Amino acid sequence: MIRVLHRWPGLLALVLVTVLALSGAALSIFPAAERLSAPQAEAGLRVAELATRIQVAYPGVEQIRRAPSGRITAYWFDQGTPGAAVIDPATGQGVASADPNQTVRWLTNLHRSLFLGDGGRIAMALGAAAMLVLSVSGVALVARRVGGWRHWFAPLRGPLAGRLHVEIARIAVLGLMLSSTTALWMTASTFDLLPDGGAVPTFPNEVSGEMGATISDLATLATTPVADLRELSFPYPDDPTDVFTLKTDHGTGYLDQGNGALLVWADLTGWDRVSETIYMLHTGQGAAMLGLVLGLMALGLPAMGATGVLIWLTGRRGRPRIRGNQSAARAETILLVGSEGGSTWGFAATLHAALTDAGQSVHTAPMSTFAPDRYARADRIIVLASTYGDGASPASANGFLDRLAALDHAPKAPLAVLGFGDRNFPAYCAFAKAVSAAAEAKGWSELIPFDTVDRQSPQDFVRWGRALGQAMGLDLELVHQPAVPATETLTLISRRDYGAEVQVPTAILRFALPRATLWKRLSGAGFARFNAGDLIGILPEGSPVPRLYSLASARRDGFVEIVVRKHPGGLGSSQLTALEPGERVAAFLRRNPGFQPGRGSAPLILIGAGTGIGPLAGFVRGNARRRPIHLFFGMRHPDSDFFYGEEMRAWQQEGRLSRLVTAVSRGGRPRYVQDAVRDDAAEVARLVRNGARVLVCGGRDMAAGVSDALVEILAPVGLTPAVLKAEGRYVEDVY
């Protein structure tokens, strides 16, 4: 619900809000510039003294105004000709033109009304209202994403667009809320919807009828500091019924031009004070620094608009359309999805369609929207959950466990949990298991027992579907063909073969970059933007299930490179390693933002064996900034499967690679890569203590061995791989 409140105002008002933000940011500069350029009155100067100085210089002076910036302007008539100037209060002489700045006027009219009068003002007010709705809903979304208010500034994970969006938002949102609220107040005030304004006192009925008091005779002016002055108007020449009119920060009054007495005084009303404060907060007039800060924050808005649209487009692409989705309040079956990359959504769509065909009303939504009090008519709740990393909640399930734990009692509708994962990983379906365990602990009744789907297996899904159908009294056939992302065609340009002598036939395959359309280049979709460590999915002929490989190159290298070992009987690897230059494969890109060296200049410790060297070599090749990199590389025999052996030497000479440590597992003194790490314990511990990041890529056994070795190595310095993982300084890409 909050997401909807965020998405649609954002997309609909994008242009309006962008115009508001850019013009507002531009306008924010002027109060500061005026504050700096305007000659300021000396401290303690009184209005009487200032007015006398000006009257000496301009005997026909009619009015003196002081802007919140301290700028003083005088208006006069000289032999029937109107004149005006910015005044230096020290001399009373004009120093600059008082004409309004035409740029400010243009920007102001654009900002408040698009040059369209009252209709434009209302449109811009709607824009401000959209900005407020976006801010409030955005705050709720950020709080949910980072896991609560206390973690407002917690580090973020996930794709770049989403991270940027939140990074900007959590700083700028305060300013945007202030600017949009004050904008709405000011619009209401302009349209007379607020009881402010009109604090002008009634003109006195009786005046002395005399003339000729000099300014120094006016006691009120002699006690009013210039810092409080807003406006002083002189009486018309030769009109004995007229008076001096004085406006200050406190109110308005009339002074007799004969005896100098204060005839009437009216203080500002509370409403006026509030409106003036709001005007100051919005325009920065009288608060120039705040204005600049607000302007800077407003500049974040176009960036948030662009990243917001990208997030929306990515989400649409990665998620299949759910047809006929019912509202949460009306549905009999609630289907909650916890998905990181989007594949679980495909299963959810199949289940949704099958249940809908069977006459059920189904509400399908991300697990993060879990709100049992809204499920008024639910007979059952089904959770389909994948796992992020080592058992963490996937992106679309953030906050689910916390909300479940916070419930007083479990929902009445019974629960079915289906986990999605890969049995090759130790944390197989760990998040789904955690959900199931938490539900049991709450006493939530079970619809059917917990089950899992291994590597998107259609068979597993069918089996579970039958069990679900039985429990519901339906005949449920769940035929799910995993949705294949749109692929592009890659042409092999070269291959290098290794490892045949040591029974690991392996090829480094280099493909030409596919041509990117302009849209792809702008949006960074597909192969228009990728880094070493991202994944490439290859669809082998004869199977709809893609095979994933880690990329050993980045877009700026100008080619797509992977390291593939031929597995006996492996469909994908056999086809790939049989490719000859000029031949093609269908492939798609899957981002892997978790496995990146990250920014900064802290040293990197890269540990890999076999084909796991691929992304690590890619990181070294891309190390143009000469960040210290220590590479531990395990192989079978240096004469056979030393992948990138020639390049390594060149990279060391160029300073891209600080140190290379190899471990050879065949021959006289067999060693694995974790042994090499252990032999280097002191140096590794020193590097980690100084902030180094550890990236491990390779088989599961190797990764486990490396982790064990690091436990031993880091114990003396009081660290563990788990602590490093929590800090994001220890990441693995394991297959």
Partner 1 sequence: MKSLLATLALTTALTLPGYAMARPVTLTTQLNNYRGDGAYLALYVSDSSGAYVGSLWMAGGKSKYYEHLTDWYRATGGDPAQVNGITGASVGAGRSLEITLDLADALFDAGYTLHIDAAVEDMRDSPNEVAVPLTTDGAGTPVSGRRYIASFTYDM
Residues contributing to the site for partner 1 (CB under 8 A): 62-63, 75, 77, 80, 82, 84, 99-100, 102, 105, 109, 117-118, 189-192, 196-198, 200, 202-203, 233, 236, 241, 245
- The DSSP letter of residue 377 is T
Smallest distance from the beta carbon of 100 to partner 1, in angstroms?
5
The DSSP element (H or E) to which 565 belongs, if any, is: strand 559-565
Smallest distance from the beta carbon of 78 to partner 1, in angstroms?
12
Question: Nearer to partner 1 by C-beta: 78 or 357?
Answer: 78
Residue 560 CB partners (closer than 8 Å, separation 6+): 490, 510, 511, 512, 513, 527, 530, 536, 551, 553, 587
Using CA atoms of 73, 78, 81, 84 in order, give the dihedral in degrees to the nearest 10. Answer: -10
Smallest distance from the beta carbon of 190 to partner 1, in angstroms?
6
Smallest distance from the beta carbon of 80 to partner 1, in angstroms?
8
Question: Nearer to partner 1 by C-beta: 63 or 259?
Answer: 63
Question: Nearer to partner 1 by C-beta: 57 or 194?
Answer: 194
Using CA atoms of 320, 323, 329, 331 in order, give the dihedral in degrees to the nearest 10. Answer: -110
Smallest distance from the beta carbon of 50 to partner 1, in angstroms?
18
Smallest distance from the beta carbon of 627 to partner 1, in angstroms?
55
Smallest distance from the beta carbon of 104 to partner 1, in angstroms?
8
Residue 652 CB partners (closer than 8 Å, separation 6+): 658, 660
Question: Nearer to partner 1 by C-beta: 198 or 359?
Answer: 198
Question: Nearer to partner 1 by C-beta: 75 or 420?
Answer: 75
Question: Nearer to partner 1 by C-beta: 101 or 494?
Answer: 101
Question: Nearer to partner 1 by C-beta: 117 or 558?
Answer: 117
> What is the largest distance, in Å, between two alpha-carbon atoms of the chain?
119
Residue 703 CB partners (closer than 8 Å, separation 6+): 696, 732, 734
Q: How far is CA 456 from the centre of its chain?
A: 31
Contact between 532 and 524 (Cβ < 8 Å): no
Q: Is the alpha carbon torsion for 564, 565, 571, 576 positive or negative?
A: positive
State the pairing for strand pair 693-698/730-734. parallel
Q: Find the DSSP H helices in 250-287.
A: 270-283
362-366: strand order across its sheet: 362-366, 333-338, 380-385, 415-421, 451-454
As a whole number of angstroms, the distance between CA 521 and CA 523 comes to: 6
Per-residue burial over 255-288, b if 16 or more Cβ lie within 10 Å, else e, is bbbbebbebeeeebeeebeebeebbbbbbbbbbb
Tokens 């679900």 correspond to: 468
Question: Nearer to partner 1 by C-beta: 57 or 136?
Answer: 57
Smallest distance from the beta carbon of 116 to partner 1, in angstroms?
13
Smallest distance from the beta carbon of 109 to partner 1, in angstroms?
7
Question: Nearer to partner 1 by C-beta: 252 or 396?
Answer: 252
Smallest distance from the beta carbon of 523 to partner 1, in angstroms?
41
Question: Nearer to partner 1 by C-beta: 62 or 732?
Answer: 62
- Beta strands per DSSP E along 15-136: 61-66, 72-78, 81-88, 93-97
Q: In degrees rounded to 5, what are phi and psi of residue 385? A: -135, 130
Smallest distance from the beta carbon of 200 to partner 1, in angstroms?
5
Question: Nearer to partner 1 by C-beta: 106 or 152?
Answer: 106
